[in-house]
C-alpha cells in the first residue's frame, strides 16, 4: 500500500454516491428533487421488468420459452403465498410478485459488468432509503390488513396462545419490540447484504490494480489470486442477489400471514 498515495487510491464507498443527472437546482419546499442516477436505475429496472412481463403475457395455450419463464416466476410466488398464508394469500400475489421481481432485477442489474462500456450501474437496493421504503410498505400492509380485519383484537398477536397469565407481562413487551423491529430488520438485511458485496468486489479489484501497479512480483503474488477470488465472489453475489430478493418476499409474506390469520 506504499504506492497507494501516488497512484489513484480506490475508494470503495464512491460507487454508492448519488449524483444528480438532471435538474440539479429543482427544489420543492426546500428539498432537492433532481433526477439522480439512483432514479435512473430505478427507471431502467422498471422498464426491464415491464418488457419482461409484456413479452410473457401473451396467454398462448402452448406457452413459448418466454411465457414459460414468466409463468415460472409467478407460479413460484403463488406457491410461496399459498404455503405461507393459505387461500387468503392469493390477493397479495401482485404486491409480493412486484416486490420480488423489482428487487431481484435491481440486484442483478447492479451487478452487470457495464463498466467496461463506460456505463456504471448503480445498485439502488444498496441504499437504506430505498429498502427502508420497501420495508415500510410491507409493514403498512400488515398494520392496515391486521387492524381492518381483526380490529383491536389484532393486539392478541403479542400474546401467543396458551401463555400462562404471569408470563403475559414478560412476553407481550418482548413480542411488541420484536414486532416493531421487523421493518427495520427487513430493510437493513437487503441494504447491508448488497452494500457488503459491492464493497468486497471493489476492495478485491483495488488489490488487483494496486498489486500490478507495485510491480510484476506483487501482481503475480497478490493480483492474480485476488482476481480469481473476485470472479468466484461475483458468482456468489449473483446467488446473494437471488436469495436476498427471495428472503425479502418470504418474510413479507410471513408478516402478512400474521395479519391475515392471527396465530
Partner 1 sequence: MDLEAAKMIGAGLAAIGAGMAALGVGNVFGSFLESALRNPGAADGQQGRLFIGFAAAELLGLLAFVVAMIILFV
Binding site for partner 1 (CB under 8 A): 13, 80, 83-84, 185, 188-189, 192-193, 196, 243, 246-247, 250-251, 254
Smallest distance from the beta carbon of 189 to partner 1, in angstroms? 5
Instruction: Name which of 187 and 219 has its Cβ closer to partner 1.
Output: 187
36 close to 18: Cβ distance less than 8 angstroms: yes
Shortest separation between residue 18's beta carbon and partner 1, angstroms: 16
Distance of alpha carbon 105 from alpha carbon 97, whole angstroms:
12
**By C-beta, is 190 or 219 nearer to partner 1?**
190
Question: For residue 206, what is its C-alpha cell?
Answer: 483495488
Q: Looking at beta carbons only, is 18 or 148 nearer to partner 1?
A: 18
Closer residue to partner 1 (CB): 223 or 245: 245
**Cβ partners under 8 Å of residue 136, min gap 6:** 183, 187
Of 146, 145, 131, give the one whose Cα is nearest residue 248: 131
Of the pair 101, 250, the CB lying nearest partner 1 is at 250
Phi/psi at 41 (nearest 5 deg)? -75, -30
Nearest to 98 by CA among 239, 256, 245, 238: 245
Cβ at position 5, least distance to partner 1 in Å = 17
Q: In whole angstroms, how close is the CB of 83 to partner 1 at the nearest point?
A: 6
The closest of 98, 100, 186, 80 to 142, measured between CA atoms, is 186
Is the Cβ of residue 39 or residue 229 nearer to partner 1 in the bound state?
Answer: 229
| Separation of alpha carbons 173 and 14, rounded Å | 41
Positive/negative CA dihedral, 191, 193, 194, 199: positive
CB of 238 to partner 1, least distance (A): 17
- Count of CB atoms within 10 A of residue 217's CB? 10
Closest approach of partner 1 to the CB of residue 248, in Å = 9
Geometric angle at alpha carbon 37, from 231 and 22, rounded to 5°: 155
Amino acid at each position: 500500500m506504499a504506492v497507494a498515495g501516488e497512484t489513484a487510491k480506490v475508494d470503495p464507498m464512491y460507487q454508492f454516491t448519488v449524483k444528480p443527472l438532471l435538474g440539479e437546482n429543482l427544489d420543492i419546499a426546500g428539498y432537492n428533487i433532481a433526477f439522480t442516477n439512483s432514479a435512473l436505475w430505478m427507471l431502467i429496472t422498471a422498464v426491464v421488468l415491464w418488457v419482461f412481463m409484456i413479452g410473457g403475457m401473451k396467454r398462448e395455450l402452448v406457452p413459448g420459452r418466454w411465457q414459460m419463464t414468466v409463468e415460472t416466476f409467478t407460479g413460484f410466488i403463488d406457491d410461496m403465498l399459498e404455503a405461507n398464508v393459505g387461500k387468503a394469500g392469493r390477493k397479495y400475489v401482485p404486491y409480493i410478485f412486484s416486490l420480488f421481481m423489482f428487487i431481484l432485477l435491481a440486484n442483478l442489474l447492479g451487478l452487470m459488468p457495464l463498466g467496461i462500456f463506460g456505463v456504471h450501474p448503480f445498485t439502488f437496493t444498496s441504499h437504506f432509503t430505498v429498502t427502508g421504503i420497501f420495508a415500510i410498505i410491507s409493514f403498512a400492509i400488515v398494520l392496515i390488513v391486521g387492524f381492518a380485519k381483526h380490529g383491536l383484537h389484532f393486539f392478541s398477536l403479542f400474546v401467543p396462545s396458551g401463555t400462562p397469565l404471569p408470563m403475559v407481562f414478560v412476553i407481550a413487551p418482548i413480542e411488541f419490540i420484536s414486532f416493531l423491529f421487523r421493518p427495520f430488520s427487513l430493510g437493513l438485511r437487503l441494504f447491508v447484504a448488497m452494500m457488503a458485496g459491492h464493497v468486497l468486489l471493489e476492495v478485491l479489484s483495488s488489490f488487483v490494480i494496486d498489486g500490478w501497479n507495485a510491480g510484476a512480483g506483487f501482481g503475480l503474488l497478490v493480483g492474480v489470486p485476488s482476481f480469481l477470488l473476485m470472479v468466484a465472489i461475483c458468482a456468489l453475489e449473483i446467488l446473494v442477489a437471488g436469495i436476498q430478493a427471495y428472503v425479502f418476499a418470504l418474510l413479507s409474506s410471513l408478516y402478512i400471514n400474521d395479519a391475515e390469520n392471527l396465530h
